[in-house]
Structure 1
Amino acid sequence: MNKQNIAIIGLGRIGSAFLDAMLQKKQNINLVCVAERADTPAKAQAVANGIRIASLDEIAAMGDKIDIVFELTGLPETRKELREKFLNTQNVHTVIASESIARLIWSLISDADMPVIQGRKTGY
């Protein structure tokens, strides 16, 4: 199986848990970059592990260098902005995976509970 090139957007509670899992399960995964505006512990962890910090514009422009973007901010406007950037850069390769998909994958790779943020809406 070819490695999947991955980006994570949002390194709060859910994004940081997902980053931890990705760093432990590197088989067939190439974590290309992450995007996080705030100075979170997970952002520092990404830097310490040599993972590039990128903007949404940079991620969209990477085209086929990113197979899947896990958009874990919980902000519908961020997903909308990312979809628009993909359209503007003609990036038809990269798939945007929402928090719902991340939770499904989490249930397959971990026995631990993924953080739950009360009142947070998931979906595409």
Structure 2
Amino acid sequence: MGKQNIALVGLGRIGSAFLREISGKQERLNLLFAAEPSNTPGKAQAIAAGIPMATLEEIAAAGNKVDIIFDLTGNPDVRKQLREQLAAHKNQHTVIAPESVARLIWSLISSEALPVIEGRITGY
């Protein structure tokens, strides 16, 4: 199996933890882009690692270069914007993995606990 080309959207507490954990998996994952509007430690970590920051539109416009977008924002409006951008760019290749899928993957790759944010709505 080849590498999965991914993008991370949201580099807050959950996105930062996810970024740290997958950073050691470059033989199977290729992190092409990250998106984070705020100045978070995760954004600084991504920039320091040379991961390009992108807008949601730029990620969607990348077409089949991005296999999976991990939406780690917990914000339904962001997920809606991602879907709209994928449709606007006729991108039928890229899939959006919500935080619940990231948590499943996390449970398979890490023995640490992923941060839990009270009141956060997860799902598709």
TM-score by length of 1: 0.98
Deviations 1:58-105 (A, max 9, x none): 001000000000001000010001100100100000010000000000
- Return 5+ residue gaps in structure 1 as ranges: none
Instruction: Tell me the residue number matched to 1:46.
Output: 46
Distance (whole Å) between structure 2 residues aligned to residue 4 and residue 59 of structure 1: 15
Counterpart code for 2:106: W
Deviations 1:7-52 (A, max 9, x none): 0000000000000011122221000010000011111111111100
Shift of 1:121: 0.9
Counterpart code for 1:105: I
Counterpart code for 1:12: G
Instruction: Tell me the residue number matched to 2:21.
Output: 21
Instruction: Tell me the residue number matched to 1:78.
Output: 78
Q: % of aligned pairs identical? A: 60
Q: Where do 1:108-119 residues align within 5 Å?
A: 108-119=108-119
Question: Which aligned segments of 4 or more residues in structure 1 are displaced greater than 2 angstroms?
Answer: none
Distance (whole Å) between structure 1 residues aligned to residue 10 and residue 45 of structure 2: 13
Measured on the aligned residues, the alpha-carbon RMSD in Å equals 0.5
Q: Where do 1:98-109 residues align within 5 Å?
A: 98-109=98-109
Instruction: Tell me the residue number matched to 1:4.
Output: 4
TM-score by length of 2: 0.98
Distance (whole Å) between structure 1 residues aligned to residue 22 and residue 32 of structure 2: 11
Counterpart code for 2:56: L
Instruction: Tell me the residue number matched to 2:122.
Output: 122
Distance (whole Å) between structure 2 residues aligned to residue 45 and residue 11 of structure 1: 9
- Return 5+ residue gaps in structure 2 as ranges: none
Distance (whole Å) between structure 2 residues aligned to residue 77 and residue 40 of structure 1: 20
Instruction: Tell me the residue number matched to 2:59.
Output: 59
